Amino acid sequence: MYDITTVREDFPILSRQIYNRPLVYLDNGATTQKPRCVVEAMVDEYYNVNANVHRGVHFLSQQATDLHEASRETVRAFINARSVNEVLFTRGTTESINLLAFSFGEAFVHEGDEIVVSTMEHHSDIVPWQMLCQRKGAKLRVIPMSDDGVLDLEAYSSLLNERTRIVCCAHVSNVLGTVNPVGEVIARAHTMNIPVLIDGAQSTPHFAVDMQALDCDFFAFSGHKIYGPTGVGVLYGKEDWLDRLPPYQGGGEMIKNVSFENTTYNTLPYKFEAGTPDYVATHALAKALDYVTALGMDNIFRHEQELTRYAMTQMSRIDGMRIFGPSDNHDAVISFLVGDIHHLDMGTLLDRLGIAVRTGHHCAEPLMRRLGIEGTVRASFGLYNTLEEVDALVEGIERVVKMF
């Protein structure tokens, strides 16, 4: 059903040697490798179709536009949004959140208002809100968490009040692997008519997401973390919210009519898509979504859960091992430290064994402060990783431990 050997053949980079050892790529939380179908779609479009979208009457422009808009429909179906009007193409999660923070902030945030974020947010779901707070004289409130990285929902409820304008929460922590109870987060905010943004950068690649079931108001994710190209991402927003938000950037495409006296804006989704979009990347993103859909998001989830559970069991046998995050509801991201070995030393020595992991604060400095550490080593799995690669990681860690 899920033939890992065949799957790996779709990713040419996985057969590379690093320092004369087979590459063990465990930095999927940062970015994923690309299957042939994604790269080939890009090459094919540049060689055979390329023309600017939405503007030309000529054949190629029509064809490029059709591919670009068909990709929007692929994204809509993938996240089960109600309409393509709810799917905005951006450069990635970061731009999606900046768009929302600016636009939502312009319309709905005033002095004395409050924005709620969680302790475990990525900087890209903190800083845009902080910048908004500075512009508007609003205040950032933070949902606390337990030592093992579980959000305190009671404390969360007590943060919500009539000044709360929006709640912003990661679906899955890029550091701890915590799968947050976003259904509960959303439901509690909605009882007070507060909209919720879910940062789906680390959930979308690992399990099926459904906008209508989740009922979030906004959702952001990046193409490159789900086997698609860099430079493209998505902001989903409920249509009635997006209709009420002002544009983020001005320029071509986002207008209906322009005069020096008065400019009117385009309809959704174009109101938020000023300038030439990366239409080659949107097409390739659709190919990536088709690819994971054909494998089956449930199969991918099961496979990565097996890797995660196996890795956590094997790693916890190592003396001095400290794994961060909860033991349940833990997605395919494992952050760890061993004894007093510095995360950078561990990462550098693993690299010499061909094992690519990430080290540092993972763009989550407030979370590091909460945990009382400077950084971690992070191994994150993708759909093509194997149990043998987990063994290589565990053996690698043991070798590094012996060296110290």
Question: CB count, 10 Å around CB of 40?
Answer: 13
Q: Which is nearer to ligand PMP, 174 or 308 (CB)?
A: 174
Using the rule CB under 6 A, is 126 a contact of ligand PMP? no
- Region binding ligand PMP by CB under 6 A among candidate stretches 71-79, 178-186, 198-206, 245-253: 198-206
Least Å distance, CB 30 to ligand PMP, is: 6
- Region binding ligand PMP by CB under 6 A among candidate stretches 69-77, 120-128, 137-145, 351-359: 120-128
Chain Cα centroid distance, residue 27 = 14
Q: Which among 260, 251, 352, 351 has a CA at the least distance from the CA of 27?
A: 351
Q: Which is nearer to ligand PMP, 8 or 370 (CB)?
A: 370
Using the rule CB under 6 A, is 199 a contact of ligand PMP? yes
Binding mask 360-389 for ligand PMP (x = CB under 6 A): ---x--------------------------
Measured N-to-C along each axis, helices 279-295 and 297-315 cross at an angle, to the nearest 10 degrees, of 80
Least Å distance, CB 59 to ligand PMP, is: 34
Residues 169/198, Cβ–Cβ less than 8 Å: yes
- Region binding ligand PMP by CB under 6 A among candidate stretches 56-64, 100-108, 117-125, 323-331: 117-125
Measured N-to-C along each axis, helices 387-403 and 297-315 cross at an angle, to the nearest 10 degrees, of 30
Give me 25's structure tokens.
């790529």
Question: Which stretches does DSSP call E strand in 52-125?
Answer: 87-90, 114-118
The 3-state secondary structure of 222-280, one letter per residue = ECHHHCCCCCCEEEEECHHHHHHCCCCCCCCCCEEECCCCCCEECCCCHHHCCCCCCHH
Cα torsion 203, 206, 207, 211 to 10°: value is 30
Using the rule CB under 6 A, is 113 a contact of ligand PMP? no
Q: Which residues, 6+ apart, have CB-to-CB distance to 98 below 8 Å?
A: 124, 128, 248
Least Å distance, CB 289 to ligand PMP, is: 16
Question: Which stretches does DSSP call E strand in 84-195?
Answer: 87-90, 114-118, 139-143, 164-170
Using the rule CB under 6 A, is 359 a contact of ligand PMP? no
Q: Which among 38, 64, 364, 55 has a CA at the least distance from the CA of 226?
A: 38
Residues 385/31, Cβ–Cβ less than 8 Å: no
Using the rule CB under 6 A, is 170 a contact of ligand PMP? yes
Active site residue 363: yes
Interacting residues with ligand PMP between 69 and 98 (CB under 6 A): 92-94
Q: Which is nearer to ligand PMP, 364 or 390 (CB)?
A: 364
Least Å distance, CB 93 to ligand PMP, is: 4
Give me 112's structure tokens.
């004395």
Member of 28, 202, 204, 385 binding ligand PMP (CB under 6 A): 202
Member of 85, 118, 119, 174 binding ligand PMP (CB under 6 A): 174
Least Å distance, CB 131 to ligand PMP, is: 16
Member of 98, 204, 222, 308 binding ligand PMP (CB under 6 A): 222
**What is the contact surface with ligand PMP in residues (CB under 6 A)?**
92-94, 122, 124-125, 170, 174, 199, 201-202, 222, 363
Task: Cite the active site residues.
Answer: 363
